[in-house]
Amino acid sequence: MYKVTKPTLLLDKKKAIKNIKRMAEKAKASMVNYRPHFKTHFSKEIGEWYRDLGVKSITVSSIDMAVFFAGHGWDDITIAFPVNILQMDVLKHLAKAVKLGLVVESKSAIEAINSEIESAVDIYIKVDTGYHRVGIWHENVEEIKRLGEAIAEPHQFKGLLAHFGHTYAETKKEKIQSIYKGGVASLNSLRDQIDKNLKISIGDTPSCSIVDKFENIDETRPGNLIFYDVMQANIGSCTYKEIAVCLAAPVVAVYPERSEVVVHGGAVHLSKDKLEDEEGTYFGKVVALEEKGWSTPIKGCRVKSLSQEHGKISVPKDQIEKIKIGDVLGILPVHSCLVANLMKEYMTLRGEKIGTMFG
Amino acid sequence: MYKVTKPTLLLDKKKAIKNIKRMAEKAKASMVNYRPHFKTHFSKEIGEWYRDLGVKSITVSSIDMAVFFAGHGWDDITIAFPVNILQMDVLKHLAKAVKLGLVVESKSAIEAINSEIESAVDIYIKVDTGYHRVGIWHENVEEIKRLGEAIAEPHQFKGLLAHFGHTYAETKKEKIQSIYKGGVASLNSLRDQIDKNLKISIGDTPSCSIVDKFENIDETRPGNLIFYDVMQANIGSCTYKEIAVCLAAPVVAVYPERSEVVVHGGAVHLSKDKLEDEEGTYFGKVVALEEKGWSTPIKGCRVKSLSQEHGKISVPKDQIEKIKIGDVLGILPVHSCLVANLMKEYMTLRGEKIGTMFG
């Protein structure tokens, strides 16, 4: 049994494994490579849970993260972030050690790879299918073709990589499916026009959660779905019961007169990522901690504001009398990746500590 | 000279020392104890800069932070956060090692201290003068008196502690001065009614920056003013030139067609703390990095959105052509404390690395 005396990120290992197993099976049934994004958990030990399910290839979001996981037995790593040409010396060494996938979207990045990396790397061109964060607009076929042609031996133009990040703004299944289908169609049209051997890699948690079977793609890279969070529950990617992490936060002050409690659990634990609903802004939903996990969100109970260490929680009037200083409340995070990054460590429901690349 | 290849938190040591020196001198001239809050920098080495200015007492925001600084030669530490009664065993040991100040606002916290801590601690009652985060409302004189009377030997009811956090919502000097004056008056009225020997401790960066001379208080605890940030510049606590930290972020993508660049510098570096102005939401202001520091904010250039690792920056149309992949932009943070917590390390302009309690 776990014991909490200060802000602690609880991890329900069973739920997490169930979440990734469901995805691994879906990918297998669709004959698609599952290359999970490790930017959600940052943990060598959690990485092994994927390995136990047969996962051999991973995605990371930074060069530091690639170096960390390369040091822990992962030898097929894609860095799904545009190449930072200032770190070519690190990439050069990494390319010697592992099968490295790099994402580019500019001539200067390709030139840097061509001239500075000796060992063969797989190059993916980042394609924008509507999110407008990074990538080349999918209709710019000639530009993508030209970039592909600029890739020199021993490196290989391996595929087209996209992130349908605009699914995060949706809450309707049909909308997410439509973004997914449109994106996959755009990528296939591009592939048809450029080179039929190119691989198509996609990876947002909403569409990967909602789509039943993958077609016309080669690889899927979701990360967040191992833990999920309130944002994903709102989108419809998961139910509240599937959320596998929960911040345990001790109550340090109770205010019956304003129906609020304050916990030790602030912006340095929960991040400032927030959501809005009809009652206003919130930074997490409150659950009751139980020996075997936690409840679904308590109605009307939410983290309404955060400062660095304080979390202010509104509580329904009829429940405030039940909460005492020294109680521990559970908070389902709005965005689990950022919370894992801040907390640097997990505690399982059996009380085992699990570290990350940060500690 | 510093060299940056990945997201790096630059620290202008001269500015930081100037910021704390100004405060140390103001406190001295006002004959007030300066007990700086170390929750902004988290660093043993930066702590020494204060010590060199004669600072002997510090404030921290968590028990972990108290333990860290106690381990680095600080022996007069106030934890300015309501006592978490689940961590009495740590506090018990800490109280043996250092002169410990604890903040309470409930009977149960005082009872826990009375029964579990043997070595004498200084107890401050947290008073709410209008911020409504934690503390007892300043007009509840009897409640505060009763709590004070519950403090048992060897512990001492040392003082009244407040945080005028509502100054953060203001941008007019007069408004901040008025909150400060009102708060100090409330605390003095309380002291007069309870015990004239009580100390009054206050500490928000806006009022500590704006007030010229402290009167009728005994102690000041600002933390953020060592670095300042865009939020404080907006409030009027500092000028942009006084901001002492800046995130250096490499450009990884340039989009002339939408006048945007993307840098490696996201929510895991800058936090999701944000501000609004007439042009919308932003997560930082962009400056040009120079050998001896950085410029003031470039007009029209701002961090408009963040994902985990990406920062999307809007750039004026006439300047986008000047920015190339591999350039490094400077970003003045919205909230420097959260950025320091995330970055875990600083680099001075001379290229020296400075660690924190996180790494």
Distance from the Cα of residue A277 to its chain's centroid: 23
Backbone angles phi, psi at B28, to 5 degrees: -65, -45
Of B245, B254, B229, B250, which is closest to residue B168 (Cα–Cα)? B229
Instruction: Give yes or no for residue B96 having a pLDDT over 90.
Output: yes
pLDDT of residue A1: 84
Written as six digits, the tokens of A26 are 């879906």
CB nearest to A84's CB, from B132, B133, B252: B252
Backbone angles phi, psi at B311, to 5 degrees: -120, 125
Q: What is the C-alpha separation between A342 and A309, in angstroms, rounded?
A: 12
Residue A142: Cβ within 10 Å count: 10
Set of chain A residues whose Cβ sits within 8 Å of the Cβ of B163: none
pLDDT tier for residue B359 given thresholds of 50, 70 and 90: confident
Set of chain A residues whose Cβ sits within 8 Å of the Cβ of B324: 108
Set of chain B residues whose Cβ sits within 8 Å of the Cβ of A87: 5-6
How many residue contacts between A and B have a Cβ separation below 8 Å?
A: 141
Q: How far is CA A172 from CA A164, A222, A229, B167, in A?
A: 15, 19, 17, 41
**Average pLDDT of the residues in B55-75:** 98
Q: What is the C-alpha separation between A15 and A23, in angstroms, rounded?
A: 13
Set of chain A residues whose Cβ sits within 8 Å of the Cβ of B86: 4-6, 250, 326, 328
Q: How far is CA B28 from CA A107, A239, B24, B218, in A?
A: 59, 57, 6, 11
Q: What is the C-alpha separation between B292 and B279, in angstroms, rounded?
A: 30
Parse chain A into domains and list their residue ranges.
Answer: 13-226, 240-355
What is A13-226's CATH superfamily?
Answer: Alanine racemase (3.20.20.10)
Q: What is the C-alpha separation between B163 and B105, in angstroms, rounded?
A: 13
CB nearest to B86's CB, from A272, A274, A326: A326
Sign of the dihedral through C-alpha A225, A226, A230, A231: negative
Per the rule left: phi > 0, alpha: psi between -120 and 50, beta: everything else, B28 is: alpha
Q: Are B217 and B200 in contact (CB under 8 A)?
A: yes
pLDDT of residue B291: 85
Distance from the Cα of residue B32 to its chain's centroid: 19
Q: What does pLDDT average to in each consecutive run of 10 residues of chain A (359 residues)? A: 96 98 98 98 98 98 98 98 98 98 98 98 98 96 98 98 95 95 98 98 96 97 98 97 98 97 98 95 98 95 97 96 97 98 98 96
Q: Are A333 and A342 in contact (CB under 8 A)?
A: no
pLDDT tier for residue B121 given thresholds of 50, 70 and 90: very high
Cβ <8 Å between B253 and A105:
yes
CB nearest to A39's CB, from B63, B134, B308: B308
**Quick one: which H or E segment has residue B229?**
none
Cβ <8 Å between B344 and A358:
yes
Backbone angles phi, psi at A214, to 5 degrees: -90, 130
How would you write chain A as a 3-class SS string?
CCCCCCCEEEECHHHHHHHHHHHHHHHHHCCCEECCECCCCCCHHHHHHHHHCCCCCEEECCHHHHHHHHCCCCCEEEEEEECCHHHHHHHHHHHHHCEEEEEECCHHHHHHHHHHCCCCCEEEEEEECCCCCCCEECCCHHHHHHHHHHCCCCCEEEEEECCCHHHHHCCCHHHHHHHHHHHHHHHHHHHHHHCCCCEEEECCHHHHHHCCCCCCCCEECCCHHHCCCHHHHHHCCCCHHHCCEEEEEEEEEEEHHHCEEEEECCHHHHCCCCEEECCEEECEEEECEECCEECCCCCCCEEEEECCCEEEEECCCCCHHHCCCCCEEEEEECCHHHHHHHHCEEEECCCCEEECCCC
State the fold for domain B13-227. TIM Barrel (3.20.20)
End-to-end CA distance of chain B: 22
The three-point CA angle A287-B273-A265 to 5° equals 30
The DSSP bridge pattern shows strands B345-348 and B353-355 to be antiparallel
Q: In this structure, which amino acid lies at residue A218? A: D
B211 to chain A nearest CA, in Å?
Answer: 24
According to CATH, what is the number of the domain B240-355? 2.40.37.20
pLDDT in tens, B25-34: 999 999 999 9
pLDDT of residue B1: 84
Nearest residue on chain A to B340, alpha-carbon basis? A268
pLDDT of residue A117: 98
Contacts of B48 (CB under 8 A, 6+ apart): none
Set of chain A residues whose Cβ sits within 8 Å of the Cβ of B308: 39, 61, 337-338, 341
The ipTM (two decimal places) reads 0.97
pLDDT of residue A87: 98
Residue whose structure tokens are 């990967």: A208
Helical residues (DSSP H) of B102-226, grouped into ranges:
107-116, 141-150, 173-194, 205-210
pTM: 0.97
Nearest residue on chain B to A251, alpha-carbon basis? B84
A28 to chain B nearest CA, in Å?
Answer: 28
Instruction: Give yes or no for residue B226 having a pLDDT over 90.
Output: yes
pLDDT of residue B256: 96
Set of chain B residues whose Cβ sits within 8 Å of the Cβ of A254: 106
pLDDT of residue A291: 85
Q: Are B343 and B9 in contact (CB under 8 A)?
A: yes
pLDDT of residue A358: 95
Backbone angles phi, psi at A219, to 5 degrees: -155, 145
Inter-helix orientation angle B173-194/B141-150, to 10°: 60
Q: What is the C-alpha separation between A56 and A219, in angstroms, rounded?
A: 12
Of A232, A188, A225, A244, which is closest to residue A26 (Cα–Cα)? A225
Cβ <8 Å between B63 and A6:
yes
